[in-house]
Amino acid sequence: MAAVKQPLEPRDKPCDPPGALPYGRQWLDGDDIEAVVRVLRGDWLTQGPLVVAFEEALAAACGARHAVAVSSGTAALHLACLAAGVGPGDFGITSPITFVASANCVAYCGGIPGFADIDPRTACLDPAALDEACARRRPKVILPVDFAGQPADLPAIQAVARRHGALVIEDAAHALGASYEHQGRWFQAGSCAHADLAILSFHPVKHITTGEGGAVLTNSPELFARLQRLRTHGITRDAALLTRQDGPWYHEQHDLGFNYRITDIQCALGLAQLRKLDRFVERRRDLVERYRAALADHADELELLLEGPGKRSSYHLLVAQIRGGTDRRRRVFEAMAARQIRCQVHYIPVHLQPWYRRHHGTRAGDFPRAEAYYAGCLSLPLFPAMADDDVDRVADALRTTLARS
Ligand SMILES: *Cc1c(COP(=O)(O)O)cnc(C)c1O
């Protein structure tokens, strides 16, 4: 139920009650819709030329050599783990402050998901805590999450991974369009300059959307070939790999893969969206600056999670830490909702989820910094189609609410 809108015109949201603000939503223009309709009038609905075109555009946008577009960010995580060789009994470490998929993907492969605590300044995986966790049990893969759009400390995490013989899968679902500095040079999230693989998601709340969709990025030709095979049932037609050649129809299944294909319909939308990425990121950054200015006088009540030195965040989320404990955060959340401002909480620490407690024996107290972060975090509405007035309305409501809570 996407609204058609032209760049930077006022919102038109038929699904929400008048004036309600979600924490995030897509932005679709006439050119997005025309691109999809063109595919519907053509020959290829899936696995046509637009999949490859979208992959090439994604790789170029992130500064990576290869991209494999798939049906969701979760499928991308699953394939990245399989390509990295995660199998039964293999250990994988991620941050507790993430969407459950970043940890589930290890379990999909029969592996054992584990965690290391966050750096409270960034809410990203802390390289020192990661190093300790690796020393206790050697992981096959490490999955740093570029939380809220700020790249994790990827160079330090890669150094830890190398020391322990693990591969790095960067979960860049929040960070398309972000970058970070290392030794005087800037690198893009998803470039795989300090990771073996990286994944993106194109869910409607993310930077660009294909409805559902995701991608894996890599600079390795071997991982690229494996990912392409795994996306389509593990089937290959590559003459160099076939054990026989029965005729022009002949193909072989070499791995147990999946149908994680994305359609040409979705890739047409993705290509049209990608052309707007820079504008989307600039708009998000402008809105964050407006929030920062509007809330600057309330630093004793709330702290915004902003980009740190050497980081350029693409701000998938703007998270406020509400001081005064988890009951106060809840009161603020509810009071904002009563004003039609739909904040969110990102995230409930994954190790506290009942499935993880039951199957992996995790407990409250295991990752105290992640738990302290969770107790106060509140994601404020942030998406490119928001008007400046919307930010002012949220900031006013927050000030009033904090004064009463
Ligand atoms: C959205 C998201 C995913 C999963 O993406 P889907 O496309 O919804 O499957 C994975 N990791 C993080 C951190 C995300 O935010």
Locate the domains of the chain by residue range.
30-274, 277-404
SS3 38: helix
Q: Is the pLDDT of residue 1 over 50?
A: no
Q: What angle do the packed helices 127-136 and 154-164 form, to 10 degrees? A: 10
Residue 33 CA to ligand 1 center (angstroms) comes to 24
With the most atoms of ligand 1 within 8 angstroms of its CB, the residue from 26, 74, 97, 348 to mutate is 74
Confidence of residue 299 (pLDDT cuts 50, 70, 90): confident
Residue 148 CA to ligand 1 center (angstroms) comes to 12
**How many CA atoms, within 13 angstroms, populate the side-chain half-sphere of residue 85?**
10
Mean pLDDT on 121-135 = 98
Q: Is the pLDDT of residue 405 over 90?
A: no
How large is the C-alpha radius of gyration of the chain? 21
Task: Give CA–CA dist 392/250, Å, rounded.
Answer: 62
User: Within 6 Å (CB) of ligand 1, which residues are found?
Assistant: 72-74, 98-99, 101-102, 145, 171, 173-174, 201, 203, 214
CA 206 to each of CA 60, 64, 300: distance values in angstroms, whole numbers, following the listed order: 19, 20, 30
Task: Give CA–CA dist 236/245, Å, rounded.
Answer: 12
Residue 16's pLDDT is 53
Classified by CATH at the fold level, domain 30-274 comes out as Aspartate Aminotransferase; domain 2 (3.40.640)
Contacts of residue 398, Cβ cutoff 8 Å, sequence gap at least 6: 295, 298, 302, 320, 332, 336, 380
Mean pLDDT on 289-303 = 94
What are the tokens at 315?
């701000």
Nearest CA to ligand 1 atom 2: 173
- Lowest-confidence segment of 2-11, 129-138, 139-148, 217-226 by average pLDDT: 2-11
Mean pLDDT on 76-97 = 98
Confidence of residue 14 (pLDDT cuts 50, 70, 90): very low
- State what percent of residues in the chain have pLDDT above 70: 96
Q: E strand or H helix at 286, and its extent? A: helix 277-295
Give tens-digit pLDDT for 176-198.
999 999 999 999 999 999 999 99
Residue 144 CA to ligand 1 center (angstroms) comes to 13
Residue 4's pLDDT is 44
What are the tokens at 210?
């294909």
What is the residue-averaged pLDDT of the chain?
95
Contacts of residue 241, Cβ cutoff 8 Å, sequence gap at least 6: 252, 254
Q: Closest Cα partner for 270 from 15, 26, 22?
A: 26
| Tokens 């790789």, located at residue | 59
Q: What DSSP designation does 192 have?
A: -
| Tokens 């494999």, located at residue | 68
Mean pLDDT on 69-93 = 98
Give tens-digit pLDDT for 270-294.
999 999 999 999 999 999 999 999 9
Q: Closest Cα partner for 97 from 27, 146, 159?
A: 146
Contacts of residue 220, Cβ cutoff 8 Å, sequence gap at least 6: 65, 66, 196
Q: Is the pLDDT of residue 307 over 50?
A: yes
Catalytic residues: 206
Asked if omega into 180 is within 30° of 0 (cis), the reply is: no
- pTM, rounded to two decimals: 0.95
Classified by CATH at the fold level, domain 277-404 comes out as Aspartate Aminotransferase, domain 1 (3.90.1150)
Task: Give CA–CA dist 193/61, Å, rounded.
Answer: 14
Q: Is the pLDDT of residue 404 over 80?
A: yes
Residue 147's pLDDT is 98
